[in-house]
């Protein structure tokens, strides 16, 4: 800024031995310093811009509604374990239309349940607790029924609301 | 009559109680001379009457005379204790007396009660000793009460789950004469120190095992060698599955050792103690035997996996304080804990690969989680590197600004 | 003020001004704008918020005015010990900027407060940095404001005619402490929640003041009503008050100056242009220090607040440790002690009234001695508060 005193000098004139090169070097230096200071603004704008970007665009892990997949990929009588954050759950297709979602965490000591296809039950590998597909305790030590989640099928896709 | 003034007093008190507008329970306040259930017996036997009228029998139209005979319509002792009067039943008559109704399918059907109690009782330790003439053993009234019989679901009942240990402990406890006579250990007190009693009393779980869960109810008898694992396995299904798969069951039965209780204790069963894998084997197997080595190895494996999981959990805490997203790590650590918990029932198979398979999985998942968190925390270290570069930039900015400043000063 | 250096530093003689000439070869936007706006008037309004106080002839072109103003001598406010006031202003600006950025995502309800804070700190790019800047900036602001109070006291700048200066300084210190206290609750984590609960217990127990505050804060229980009021206080009321007293400080400085007793020695005076460069350098260095603190000593993120379980070892923030020690250990009921402390805090405002009017060095020395005693007592009590066990 303060070197505006010599704007008349033609830029890029390497012939002048004494007067011109310092001037152009000076101008270059001034330009460089200003660009250098401009980086602050650029950095701040970048950081704030990244911060302010609407968060819907990124994948949100704390989402409450989970997309499980296509309904036709789930076979009848088959269960799928969905690992979602701290709440893993099973999605079981009972028949053509009905799908249930049950927590996969045993209510006894929080073991992860397994699915017993022949008995159509969820069994706990730790202490043999068994749950039916309504979440009720069939046998074993679990003190409470399994929490179940609302399932909705929209356009052939299965969603579970946690 | 010495009792006449008392009766009058009772009468006036009863009418006064009835006359009170807020009187809540007119049915239990003594009605004049005769009641539906106790007839006139209560006039001379007031305390029995009070007990009886609270019982479930009184509500179901059982009367004094149903068990004691006689005539409850008369106040004259000669008539009341007259024809067909039984008086106090002999102890060895009590089971038969009760069974006169309780083994009658026709009478019990309406109450949905079983009718096999008498048959079961006769097979029990109590029943067999009674048949031999031991008048000290328990009969129906010792557990259910005589006059004050309540249904099992009533918390005041002696056979309510929470009251069962005390009911049995009256004879099978330290201060019972029977125990002293038989020179047996204090079963009641031992039970009270067990994990089962902790679950029953301290956590109030009515499904926790009491005396009758293992010994049977009316057919009460101690489980014999060969049956113990079936009894315990009723609840501890996973443990039994692994236990029967392993070599211990056959060997112990052959050696005459009761299955589960030889290691876990009879009545004072304690909570899970994985460290006993390292010490308990030596009580039967030799100190340097390969079985002892196997036990020690299982314990080492278990311990290593548990330590790994604890370490990963501590790292999760650290990551939460930054904070770093840890939901996924928590879920995977839960999975690792599942393997570790499953290793405990699996240890009953005393098969190395069965246990180490589970502990290795638990350990590897825990190690995976730990290393990933380490990686994420390591990214934070790179911030410090950026900080150094940043300071170079700050100082350069200051130099540039100083230059502008001095130029401006020269211009002024 | 931030416009001033750019405008002042722009080259170009008086020929580009006046309004008659067309845009220059580089597009003279100042001239273009000046033909449409009275920029000089705008600039004279801006001078109220800075250290410039000269009568401005609004009919003159802005460039001339700015050039003149920029070359005027001003006290060197970027030098010790005057720098404290400048630092407070810069830090306040930083708090406003980062606070606005945080407010874009923060939700002041008990259900969402912790979650939204965690989203900012954990999931958003640079969210942690903005949050740490805000926290460390507040921490430094408390220190700067307190140090400034000490320095004003030491140099006797509470005596007439500088009562307003003293009052604004005390008010700014109060407002900073209140902002810090209200801001701590907003994250709704276990530590901040219980610190607020414990603090409010003491305050609500005071006679008269307690019920009044409970009325103003929406109840005696720390719940959603109180949270949203804390939020409103933290981001609207208290900053507005701080800005007002900042302005009052500038206004009184223009009239009475900061320290006429010590005449401007060499280097104590500078031009406004020079001062603005110093201020920029100071801001950059301050930002560097805050960044270092944010990276090397970040505030730990706590677990969510649970109203049903008190964590152990909850202590008030460091600047409240001395009152905490007095209230917990002092003789007498806590409400009486609290009232006493409050009275002392307000008595500080009245310092100009009983300060000896004479500028004699002896009276000032005695006051300094008293002040030193008070500071020593405060430090000792703070140490006691930091290490004592809760009753």
Instruction: Look at C296 and B387 and tell me if their CB atoms are within 8 Å.
Output: yes
Reported as a single tens digit per residue, the pLDDT across C200-233 is 888 888 888 888 888 888 878 888 888 999 999 9
CA distance A144 to chain B (A): 12
pLDDT value of residue B160: 92
pLDDT value of residue C69: 82
Q: Which residues pair with C229 in a beta bridge?
A: none
Residue in B closest to A125 by C-alpha: B342
Tell whether the model's pLDDT for residue C149 goes beyond 60: yes
Tell whether the model's pLDDT for residue B63 goes beyond 90: no
Which of A67-71, B339-343, C218-222, C270-274 is predicted most confidently?
B339-343
pLDDT value of residue A12: 43
Average pLDDT for residues C103-116, to the nearest whole number? 89
Average pLDDT for residues C26-48, to the nearest whole number? 79
CA distance C53 to C250: 10
Average pLDDT for residues C289-318, to the nearest whole number? 85
pLDDT value of residue B177: 56
Quick check: B399 contacting C, CB < 8 Å?
Answer: no
Instruction: Look at A51 and C12 and tell me if their CB atoms are within 8 Å.
Output: no
| Per-residue pLDDT band at A56 (split at 50, 70, 90) | low
Cβ neighbours of residue C265 under 8 Å, at least 6 residues apart? none
Tell whether the model's pLDDT for residue C288 goes beyond 90: yes
pLDDT value of residue B182: 55
| Per-residue pLDDT band at C356 (split at 50, 70, 90) | low
CA distance A82 to A160: 10
Tell whether the model's pLDDT for residue C236 goes beyond 70: yes
If one counts every other C-beta atom within 10 angstroms of the C-beta of residue B222, the result is 13
Q: What is the DSSP string of C227-259?
A: HHHHHHIIIIIHHHHHHHHHHHHHHHHHHH-S-
Instruction: Look at B409 and C274 and tell me if their CB atoms are within 8 Å.
Output: yes
pLDDT value of residue B184: 64
Tell whether the model's pLDDT for residue B20 goes beyond 80: no
Tell whether the model's pLDDT for residue B4 goes beyond 60: no
Least confident of B141-150, C66-75, C112-121, C293-302: C66-75
CA distance B333 to chain C (A): 19
Average pLDDT for residues B270-276, to the nearest whole number? 87
Residue in B closest to C72 by C-alpha: B412
| Per-residue pLDDT band at C52 (split at 50, 70, 90) | low
Tokens for B142?
Answer: 């010792």
Q: What is the DSSP string of B196-254?
A: HHIIIIIS--TTS--HHHHH-STT--PPPTTTHHHHHHTT-HHHHHHHHHSSHHHHHHH
Say what percent of chain C tops pLDDT 70: 86
Average pLDDT for residues B31-56, to the nearest whole number? 79
Work out whether the CA dihedral B329, B334, B339, B343 comes out positive or negative.
Answer: positive
CA distance C284 to A40: 10
pLDDT value of residue C158: 83
CA distance C131 to C140: 14
Say what percent of chain A tops pLDDT 90: 12
Cross-chain CB nearest to A33 (options B205, B344, B400): B400
CA distance C63 to C9: 10
> Which residues in chain A have their CB less than 8 angstroms from residue C12's CB?
4
Cross-chain CB nearest to A51 (options C9, C11, C130): C130
pLDDT value of residue B183: 53
| Per-residue pLDDT band at A6 (split at 50, 70, 90) | very low
> Which residues in chain C have their CB less than 8 angstroms from residue A59's CB?
none
Reported as a single tens digit per residue, the pLDDT across C122-148 is 888 899 999 999 999 999 999 999 999
Q: Which chains touch B (3+ CB pairs under 8 A)?
A: A, C
Three-class secondary structure of residue B112 per DSSP: coil
CA distances from B28 to B14, B47, B152 (A): 10, 13, 22
pLDDT value of residue B203: 87
Burial class (CB in 10 A: 0-12, 13-18, 19+), C165: buried
Average pLDDT for residues B138-144, to the nearest whole number? 91
Average pLDDT for residues A60-70, to the nearest whole number? 70
Q: Which chains touch C (3+ CB pairs under 8 A)?
A: A, B
pLDDT value of residue B336: 92
Cβ neighbours of residue C271 under 8 Å, at least 6 residues apart? B408, B409, B412, C70, C71, C72, C73, C74
pLDDT value of residue C62: 83
**Higher-confidence position of A30 and B116:** B116
What average pLDDT does the structure give for chain A? 78
> Under the phi-then-psi rule, with left for phi > 0, alpha for psi from -120 to 50, and beta for the rest, what region is B383?
alpha
CA distance B152 to B117: 14
Tell whether the model's pLDDT for residue B265 goes beyond 90: no
CA distance B76 to chain A (A): 58
**Higher-confidence position of A1 and B74:** B74
**Higher-confidence position of B176 and B15:** B176
Whether the CB-CB separation of B39 and B73 falls below 8 Å is answered with yes
CA distance A64 to B389: 41
pLDDT value of residue C361: 67
Tell whether the model's pLDDT for residue B229 goes beyond 50: yes
ipTM of the complex: 0.79
Tell whether the model's pLDDT for residue B6 goes beyond 90: no
Tell whether the model's pLDDT for residue C188 goes beyond 60: yes
Instruction: Look at B404 and C300 and tell me if their CB atoms are within 8 Å.
Output: no
Average pLDDT for residues C13-25, to the nearest whole number? 41
pLDDT value of residue C45: 77
Cross-chain CB nearest to B408 (options C118, C277, C285): C277
Whether the CB-CB separation of C43 and C56 falls below 8 Å is answered with yes
Instruction: Look at C71 and B401 and tell me if their CB atoms are within 8 Å.
Output: no
If one counts every other C-beta atom within 10 angstroms of the C-beta of residue C335, the result is 17
Pairing of strands C269-271, C73-75: antiparallel
CA distance B278 to B288: 12
Q: Which residues pair with C304 in a beta bridge?
A: C189
pLDDT value of residue B412: 62
If one counts every other C-beta atom within 10 angstroms of the C-beta of residue A59, the result is 6
Strands (E), chain C: 73-75, 269-271
> Which residues in chain C have their CB less than 8 angstroms from residue A55's CB?
105, 119, 123-124
Three-class secondary structure of residue C173 per DSSP: helix
pLDDT value of residue A9: 40
User: Could you tell me which residues of chain B have a Cβ less than 8 Å from any Cβ in chain A?
Assistant: 205, 235-238, 241, 325, 327-328, 330-331, 334-335, 337-338, 341-342, 344-345, 393, 396-397, 400-401, 403-404, 407-408, 411
pLDDT value of residue B197: 93
Average pLDDT for residues B308-320, to the nearest whole number? 93
Residue with tokens 């500028």: C359
CA distance B391 to chain A (A): 13
Whole-model pTM: value is 0.73
Quick check: A41 contacting C, CB < 8 Å?
Answer: no
The CB-side HSE value for A116 (13 A sphere, CA atoms) comes to 16
Whether the CB-CB separation of A153 and A71 falls below 8 Å is answered with yes
Cross-chain CB nearest to A51 (options C9, C12, C101): C101
Whether the CB-CB separation of B162 and B202 falls below 8 Å is answered with no
Average pLDDT for residues B131-137, to the nearest whole number? 89
Cβ neighbours of residue A101 under 8 Å, at least 6 residues apart? A68, A89, A90, A91, A92, A148, A149, A150, A151, A160
Reported as a single tens digit per residue, the pLDDT across B150-196 is 998 898 999 999 999 999 888 887 665 544 445 566 788 889 999 99
CA distance B332 to chain C (A): 20
């Amino acid at each position: 800024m303060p070197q505006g005193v010599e704007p008349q000098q033609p830029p890029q004139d390497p012939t002048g031995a004494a007067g011109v090169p310092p001037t152009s070097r000076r101008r270059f230096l001034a330009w460089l310093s200003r660009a250098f200071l401009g980086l602050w603004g650029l950095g701040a704008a970048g950081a704030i811009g990244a911060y302010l970007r609407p968060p819907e665009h990124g994948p949100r892990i704390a989402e409450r509604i989970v997309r499980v997949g296509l309904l036709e990929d789930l076979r009848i009588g088959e269960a799928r374990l969905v690992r979602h954050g701290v709440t893993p759950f099973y999605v079981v297709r009972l028949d053509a239309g009905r799908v249930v979602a049950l927590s996969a965490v045993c209510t006894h000591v929080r073991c992860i349940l397994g699915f017993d296809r022949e008995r159509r039950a969820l069994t706990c590998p730790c202490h043999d607790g068994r749950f039916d597909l309504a979440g009720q305790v069939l046998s074993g030590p679990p003190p409470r029924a399994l929490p179940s989640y609302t399932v909705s099928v929209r356009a052939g896709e299965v969603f579970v609301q946690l | 009559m010495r009792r006449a003034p008392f009766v009058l007093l009772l009468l006036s008190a009863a009418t006064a109680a009835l006359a009170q507008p807020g009187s809540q329970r007119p049915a239990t306040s003594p009605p004049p001379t005769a009641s539906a259930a106790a007839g006139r017996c209560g006039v001379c036997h007031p305390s029995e009457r009070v007990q009886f009228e609270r019982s479930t029998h009184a509500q179901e139209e059982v009367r004094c005379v149903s068990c004691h005979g006689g005539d409850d319509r008369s106040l004259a002792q000669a008539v009341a204790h007259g024809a067909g009067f039984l008086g106090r039943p002999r102890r060895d008559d009590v089971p038969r007396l009760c069974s006169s109704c309780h083994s009658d399918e026709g009478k019990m059907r309406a109450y949905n009660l079983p009718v096999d109690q008498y048959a079961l009782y006769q097979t029990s330790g109590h029943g067999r000793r009674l048949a031999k003439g031991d008048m000290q053993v328990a009969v129906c009234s010792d557990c259910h009460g005589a006059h004050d019989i309540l249904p099992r679901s009533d918390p005041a009942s002696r056979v309510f789950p929470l009251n069962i240990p005390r009911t049995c402990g009256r004879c099978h406890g330290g201060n019972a004469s029977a125990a002293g006579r038989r020179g047996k250990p204090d079963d009641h007190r031992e039970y009270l120190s067990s994990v089962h009693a902790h679950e029953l009393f301290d956590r109030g779980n009515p499904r926790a095992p009491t005396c009758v869960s293992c010994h049977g109810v009316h057919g009460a008898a101690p489980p014999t060698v060969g049956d113990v694992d079936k009894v315990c396995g009723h609840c501890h299904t996973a443990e039994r599955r692994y236990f029967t798969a392993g070599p211990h069951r056959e060997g112990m039965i052959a050696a005459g050792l009761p299955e589960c209780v030889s290691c876990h204790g009879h009545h004072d069963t304690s909570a899970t103690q994985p460290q006993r894998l390292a010490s308990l084997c030596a009580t039967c197997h030799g100190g340097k035997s390969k079985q002892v080595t196997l036990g020690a190895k299982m314990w080492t494996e278990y311990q290593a996996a548990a330590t790994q999981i604890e370490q990963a959990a501590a790292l999760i805490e650290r990551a939460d304080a930054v904070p770093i997203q840890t939901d996924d790590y928590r879920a995977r650590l839960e999975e690792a804990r599942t393997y570790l918990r499953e290793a405990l029932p699996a240890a009953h198979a005393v098969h190395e690969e069965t246990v180490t398979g589970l502990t290795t999985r638990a350990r590897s998942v825990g190690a995976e989680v730990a290393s990933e968190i380490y990686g994420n925390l390591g990214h934070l270290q790179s911030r410090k590197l950026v900080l150094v570069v940043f300071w170079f930039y700050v100082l350069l900015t200051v130099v540039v600004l100083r230059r502008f400043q001095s130029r401006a000063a020269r211009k002024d | 003020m931030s416009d001033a250096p750019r405008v002042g530093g722009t080259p170009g003689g008086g020929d580009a001004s006046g309004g008659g000439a067309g845009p220059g070869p580089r597009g003279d936007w100042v001239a273009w704008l000046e033909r449409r706006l009275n920029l000089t008037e705008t600039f004279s309004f801006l001078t109220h918020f800075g250290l410039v106080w000269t009568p401005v002839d609004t009919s003159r072109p802005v460039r001339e005015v700015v050039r003149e103003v920029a070359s005027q001598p001003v006290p060197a406010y970027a030098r010790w010990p005057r720098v404290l006031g400048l630092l407070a202003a810069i830090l306040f600006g930083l708090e406003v900027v980062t606070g606005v950025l945080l407010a874009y995502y923060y939700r002041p309800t008990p259900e969402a407060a912790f979650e939204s804070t965690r989203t900012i700190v954990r999931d958003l790019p640079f969210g942690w940095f903005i949050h740490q800047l805000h926290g460390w900036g507040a921490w430094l602001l408390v220190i700067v404001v307190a140090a400034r109070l000490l320095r004003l006291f030491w140099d006797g700048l509470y005596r007439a005619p500088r009562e307003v200066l003293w009052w604004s300084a005390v008010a700014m210190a109060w407002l900073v402490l209140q902002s810090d206290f209200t801001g701590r609750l907003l994250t709704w984590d276990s530590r901040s929640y219980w610190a607020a609960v414990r603090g409010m217990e003491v305050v609500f127990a005071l006679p008269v003041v307690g019920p009044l505050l409970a009325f103003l804060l929406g109840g005696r229980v720390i719940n959603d009503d109180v949270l949203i009021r804390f939020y409103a206080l933290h981001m609207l009321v208290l900053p507005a008050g701080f800005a007002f007293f900042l302005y009052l400080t500038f206004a009184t400085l223009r009239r009475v100056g900061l320290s006429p007793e010590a005449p401007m020695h060499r280097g104590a005076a500078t031009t406004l242009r020079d001062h603005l460069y110093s201020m920029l350098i100071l801001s950059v260095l301050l930002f560097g220090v805050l960044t270092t603190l944010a990276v090397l000593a970040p505030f730990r993120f706590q677990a969510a607040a649970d109203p049903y379980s008190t964590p152990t070892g909850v202590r008030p923030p460091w600047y409240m440790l001395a009152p905490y020690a007095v209230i917990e250990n002092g003789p007498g009921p806590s409400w009486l002690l609290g009232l006493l402390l409050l009275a002392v805090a307000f008595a500080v405002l009245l310092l100009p009234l009983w300060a000896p009017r004479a500028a004699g060095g002896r009276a000032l020395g005695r006051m300094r001695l008293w002040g030193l005693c008070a500071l020593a007592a405060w430090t000792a009590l703070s140490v006691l508060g930091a290490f004592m066990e809760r009753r």
